[in-house]
């Protein structure tokens, strides 16, 4: 069953990418294609990040041990969509003008925060191989707890970008608060048990 689930989840995780690719090829991204592509890929990276964080509570509450095997793949899809998000911003909005990119990183806090989240995702992605897990040993788990910081930075990034209608950011932030709150309560409960 697990062997069937992984390829199905992989194909499902590719659907947003294929959909966006088709829209690009059909020139159907609206009046500001670069902005649309940047927004869409950013939202998908956040959705996959939250999905990655949802796996552990689901496994623990429902006893679905098998879904833990999906966490790494979904986490890597988070990194995949975040990379497309960053590249679309660098390529289509700033035209790979490196001085302009550096200037944006320094002068715009929401970009700085988003970039810091991306750097953490790079670190987590690079250390997600079986070889790195073995090499890092117990430190691997400690390192991968940085996903919590990355998720908070992503929500801050989104809040600063939206500025006016923050409904979407509040919804994502509430989901993140539930996921992190669950972990905090579980840790407290185990301390006093």
- Tell me the pLDDT tens digit for each residue of 136-169: 999 999 999 999 999 999 999 999 988 778 899 9
The ranges of the chain with pLDDT < 70 are 1-2, 193
pLDDT for the residue numbered 66 = 84
pLDDT for the residue numbered 150 = 98
CA distances from 11 to 69, 70, 80, 103 (A): 16, 13, 14, 38
pLDDT for the residue numbered 193 = 66
pLDDT for the residue numbered 3 = 75
pLDDT for the residue numbered 162 = 84
CA distances from 121 to 48, 100, 112, 127 (A): 12, 23, 14, 10
CA distances from 53 to 70, 73, 97, 105, 129 (A): 11, 12, 35, 27, 19
pLDDT for the residue numbered 72 = 94
Whether the Cβ atoms of residue 64 and residue 58 lie closer than 8 Å to each other: yes
What does DSSP assign to residue 150? H
């Amino acid at each position: 069953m697990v062997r069937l689930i992984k390829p199905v989840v992989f194909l499902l995780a590719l659907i947003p990418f294929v959909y966006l690719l088709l829209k690009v090829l059909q020139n159907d991204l609206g009046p500001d294609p670069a902005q649309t592509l940047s927004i869409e890929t950013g939202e998908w990276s956040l959705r996959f990040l939250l999905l990655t964080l949802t796996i552990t509570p689901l496994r623990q509450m429902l006893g679905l041990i098998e879904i833990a095997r999906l966490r790494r793949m979904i986490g890597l899809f988070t990194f995949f969509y975040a990379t497309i998000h960053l590249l679309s911003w660098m390529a289509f909005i700033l035209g790979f003008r490196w001085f302009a990119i550096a200037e944006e990183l320094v002068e715009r806090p929401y970009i700085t925060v988003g970039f810091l989240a991306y750097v953490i995702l790079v670190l987590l992605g690079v250390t997600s191989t079986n070889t790195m897990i073995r090499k890092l040993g117990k430190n691997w788990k400690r390192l991968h707890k940085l996903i919590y910081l990355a998720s908070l930075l992503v929500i801050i990034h989104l809040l600063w970008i939206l500025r006016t209608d923050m409904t979407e950011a509040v919804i994502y932030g509430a989901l993140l608060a539930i996921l992190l709150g669950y972990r905090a309560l579980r840790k407290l409960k185990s301390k006093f048990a």
